[in-house]
Chain A
Amino acid sequence: MTGGLDQLYGDLIVDHAERRVGAGLLEDPDVRSHQVNPTCGDEIWLDLAVDPERPDAVHIAWEGHGCLISQGSASMLAELLDGAPRAELPARIAAVREMLHSRGTIAGDEDVLGDAVALAGVSRYVARVKCAMLAWVALEDAVARLP
């Protein structure tokens, strides 16, 4: 890849968009969030299920269609947070949002965001921030509605 697009379409994002970690909805989720990006029609469904063995942890699965950014971001989210403690989720979502709205000024902490630090380059492309946020907004909505 060449030019400024390198920042946007980093190898990790493209790789995740192909691997689609966590894709495939759960049979019996506790919560399902459906989010749409109204400008392009991209959609995501994100499921949360509390782990019966470890009630403080959640399983995450998703399905959707969209651009490389939205799909790669959803995969990164699932890889990072499937099985994570519920209590940690709001802070992770906040960290992604802060990075994505930073216009390139916040690189993101890999310990907190995992592969999702690769989304930092998206923050320079204001029109694409919504694409990267789509899965995280779905997670935020689902967490808020989790019993």
Chain B
Amino acid sequence: MPIRERGPVTSPASTSATLGDAEVRALRADFPILAEHVGGHPLVYLDSGATAQQPLAVLDAVDDFVRHRNAAVHRGAHTLAAEATEEFEDARATVAAFVGARPEEIVWTTNATEAINIVAYGVSNASVGRGGAEARRFAIGPGDEIVATELEHHANLIPWQELAARTGASLRIVHLEDDGTLREDELASVIGERTRIVAVAHVSNVLGTVTPVERIVALAHAVGALVVLDACQSVPHRPVDVAALGVDFAAFSGHKMLGPTGVGVLWGRRELLDALPPVLTGGSMITTVSLESAEYLPAPQRFEAGTQKVAQAIGLAAAVRYLEAIGMERVREHEERLARRLLEGVSALPGMTVLGPPAGVDRGGLVSLVVDGVHAHDVGQYLDEAGIAVRVGHHCAQPLHRRFGVTATVRASTYLYTTEEEVDAFLDRLASVRSFFRVAR
């Protein structure tokens, strides 16, 4: 039975160069949740940096798959199993093309955290001799160094702390300038002959800083080190070509790019993924198994043990098609415009401090700030009362917050469906937060 045709993904026509107000308002109709009200107020969703909302194209793709083709993949020979497998692999190809990768270089994970841990534990396994001769290139031990930065999300820091602790390697840190950029001098001095792995975020989830990935790759590769890129805040918001960037591994999450929760991606250069020892072992990742030992499939299957998140992967591919139809450069420009409006608006308010690079430099479409005299949780509560959803807390980046002498910040993050009116609603409400809490009258 042939694979049945699936309907095209609907999305607004991307005719104009920039993503204009009218187009943004029109595409908001694709996101049912954006019409919700919170406490009697229209929802103003400024927390896409934590999790993005899903368009009908994604909801429908998941629904359609589960209703009509749901089956386990890469096992079974019945029609549904074949259709599910084909759609699952089509999804892989769609996501691969979106980031400049080959399909076999895309490993489905639960989230970006798992993706980074697969690399860390794969290296760990290689370090105790697993994976044979081809995995020896990954082995690290005492005297070797892993480099991370002060702006990392905990997901790109703690796995390396743990890897260092297990192997006896040292973890070294590149610190931040006051403007939230990486210290150039430290990049050059910390990445050195002993460096084996450099772990860095592409875009900071707190500061919006865009890190100098190409320079980091050059420094790392000059000493034979691998670069692991946390692309969670870049792939959803700007064009990213992992191969062109030159990194060795990259991780990103489906739910931050209009897709479902429960699916993320590990990308790795093919020769690396084929040599890296698997972490989760079990069904569907083997060639031959005896009672004593097993041979493993090449990537990506060697990292995909057990029943897979099929519907989620298909939903993520639908999200990618939606983003492609709009155009990632237009998404980036739109968010850049909103970030400027946010930055200028917050800067005009007394008693507010913005962390991270100023407007005018290349940065992510989010703003984290501190309100003098009012704790971030209290600010968030005051905003929520008006239907405005922001993230408050340390955003899984405690060392970064400590660097700036704060425990928690308020983060407003934008996406392609965010409007200028929403930014203004946030700024208006923020303007009265200090008087509400009596630190300014």
Question: How far in angstroms is the closest Cβ of chain A from B379?
Answer: 9
Does A3 lie at the interface of the complex (its beta carbon under 8 Å from any beta carbon of B)?
Answer: yes
Separation in Å of the B275 CB from the closest CB of chain A? 37
List residues of chain B with CB within 8 A of the CB of A125. 381
The answer to whether B6 has its CB under 8 Å from any CB of chain A is no
CB distance from A65 to the nearest CB of B (A): 6
Chain A residues with CB under 8 A of B378: 9, 67-69
Q: A41-B407, A66-B375, A69-B378 are known contacts; what are 4 more A-B pairs with Cβ within 8 Å?
A: A5-B382, A5-B385, A40-B392, A65-B407
- Whole-angstrom distance between the alpha carbons of A65 and B373 in the complex? 12
Q: Which residues of B contact A8 (CB under 8 A)?
A: 381
B436 & A40 in contact (Cβ 8 Å cutoff): no
- Is there contact, CB below 8 Å, between B407 and A40? yes
Instruction: Provide the bound-state CA to CA distance between A125 and B380, in Å.
Output: 12
Cβ contact of B385, chosen from A4, A41, A66, cutoff 8 A? A4
10 pairs from A and B in contact (CB 8 Å cutoff): A3-B385, A4-B385, A5-B382, A5-B436, A41-B407, A66-B377, A67-B377, A67-B378, A68-B375, A128-B381
Q: Known: A69-B377, A131-B377. Contact between A14 and B437, CB under 8 A?
A: yes
Give the residue of A4, A9, A42, A69 whose beta carbon is less than 8 angstroms from that of B408.
Answer: A42
B: residues with CB less than 8 A from A are 39, 375-378, 381-382, 385, 392-394, 398, 401, 407-408, 436-438
- Please indicate the chain A residues that have their CB under 8 angstroms from the CB of B39 in the complex: 4
Distance in angstroms from B243 CB to nearest chain A CB is 37
Chain A hits for B375, CB < 8 A: 42, 66-68
Q: Which residues of A contact B401 (CB under 8 A)?
A: 41
Say whether B377 contacts A128, CB under 8 Å: yes
Quote the shortest CB–CB distance from B78 to chain A (angstroms): 45
Chain B residues with Cβ below 8 Å from A41 are 393-394, 398, 401, 407-408
Q: Across chains A and B, which 3 residue pairs bring their CB atoms closest together, nearest first? A: A67-B375, A67-B377, A41-B407
Q: A21 to nearest B CB, angstroms? A: 18
A-chain residues with CB within 8 Å of residue B394 when the two chains form the complex: 40-41
Interface centre among A1, A5, A67, A69 (most CB of B within 10 A): A67
Measured CA separation A26–B155 after assembly (Å): 37
Q: A40: which of B377, B437, B438 is its contact (CB, 8 Å)? A: B377
